[in-house]
Structure 1
Amino acid sequence: MTPVQTALWTVLGVALVISVVTDVLRHRILDIVTYPLMVIALGLRLWSEGVGDLEKGLISGLVSGVGLAALLLPGALRGKMGWGDVKLMGGVGAVLGFPAVMAAGAFISLAGAFQAVVTIIWKGEVWETIAATGRRWAIRARLLRADTTPVTQRHIPYGVAIALGTFWAMWWQQSNSS
């Protein structure tokens, strides 16, 4: 591992730990963490590898950051996910670059699905969740009319899944580069 990669992973690790704590405790991923993460990642990539291409340098960080953040855009635009999650994903992509960002996207998705299932079971909301999903599909199929009753929003701190999936991707990248 190069000194620059060590620095990037250290900054990323600190940002992820802070984001998990603030997401769990305050339901927020802070801009003061995500923006510097992106700037440091892209700056170090530019400084150490130059403009580069898809697999190294600034371009790799930009494309990977935008691509990983884009995975959460539909959820953020519909208000189902916070913009802090999107920015944190952008920072993760900027640090990891291509192709490691592909593994990170997959691992973060798996960690998020696992987290959602565990949360639903832990809170005893299995049947409520299944019924709500059935109602949504019935409304889409026009078998039921849309309710005007407000739907209760649940907070699942996706920063936890982002951190777990990212650490998993970092481990995967390190074990496959040896």
Structure 2
Amino acid sequence: MLTANNAILLVLILASGFCDLKERKIPNKITFTGILIGVLFNFITGGVSGLLQSVFGLLSGLLIFFLPFAMGGMGAGDVKLMGAIGALMGWRFTVMTALYSAFVGGIMVLIHLLYTGKLRETLQKMLYALIHLLLQFAIRLGYNETVYKAHDKFSKNGYAYRKIYIPYGVAIAGGAVLVLIAYKNGYPIF
């Protein structure tokens, strides 16, 4: 059975995912409308406790993706979308959506790398970057000239790692749908 908040959620994530896929941006009119509807819906259906649950969900949704946003890993629209999901569905649903979204996003990146033929190259560069960081740590601990030479070699070979951009609104939409399916099939959210 499709409840009202689930129907609103599906409209929200479908519109966001479509816009992110097409325009590489989630418009404010979608996310802010989702936040407003989520807060009002929960206040109308749950009174003050529903309002508090909605506000706490909104804040948790914004906080979950704030650090990745601050580090340049995702756009502000993705953060606001998680806030809208939190305002509508609450903090538990939002946390699970973030976890499932990471899974969906990882699959999207893997498919992209396989499609472009860059999986091996990307894994190699990631390994070089990891070795580079470990060698920097060893240098700070005061190790010898051999570590400096290895550091220079790995710095030249793999440090120029490029980011892979995916429309993360699609991953968030996929994660939210997976949480809905899990919940419908009796798997509790927490």
Counterpart of 2:111 in structure 1 is 118
Counterpart of 1:164 in structure 2 is 174
Distance 2:115 2:36 in 1: 38
Please point out which of 13, 16, 20 is paired with 1:16.
13
2:10 partner letter: G
- Deviation at 1:175? 3.0
Distance 1:146 1:83 in 2: 32
TM-score after normalising by structure 2:
0.78
Counterpart of 2:133 in structure 1 is 140
Pair 71,123 (structure 1): closer, same or farther in 2 beyond 3 Å? farther
- Deviation at 1:170? 1.5
Please point out which of 118, 121, 130 is paired with 2:123.
130
Deviations along 1:58-94, whole A, 9 cap, x unmatched?
A: 2222222322332221221111211101111111122
Counterpart of 1:42 in structure 2 is 39
Percentage identity across aligned positions?
Answer: 24
- Deviation at 1:146? 6.0
Q: How does 1:13-92 map to 2 (within 5 A)?
A: 13-52=10-49, 57-92=50-85
Structure 2: any 5+ residue segments left out of the alignment?
137-150
Distance 2:16 2:36 in 1: 17
2:45 partner letter: S
Distance 2:93 2:65 in 1: 18
**TM-align CA RMSD:** 2.4
Distance 2:91 2:72 in 1: 29
Distance 1:58 1:132 in 2: 47
For this pair of structures, how many residues does the alignment match? 169
Structure 1: any 5+ residue segments left out of the alignment?
none
TM-score after normalising by structure 1:
0.82
> 104-113 or 28-37: which moved more?
104-113
Q: Which has the higher helix share?
A: 2
Q: Is the 8 A contact 2:53 2:91 kept in 1?
A: yes
Please point out which of 152, 165, 186 is paired with 1:155.
165
Q: Which has the larger Rg?
A: 2
Distance 2:69 2:91 in 1: 24
> 64-73 or 12-21: which moved more?
64-73
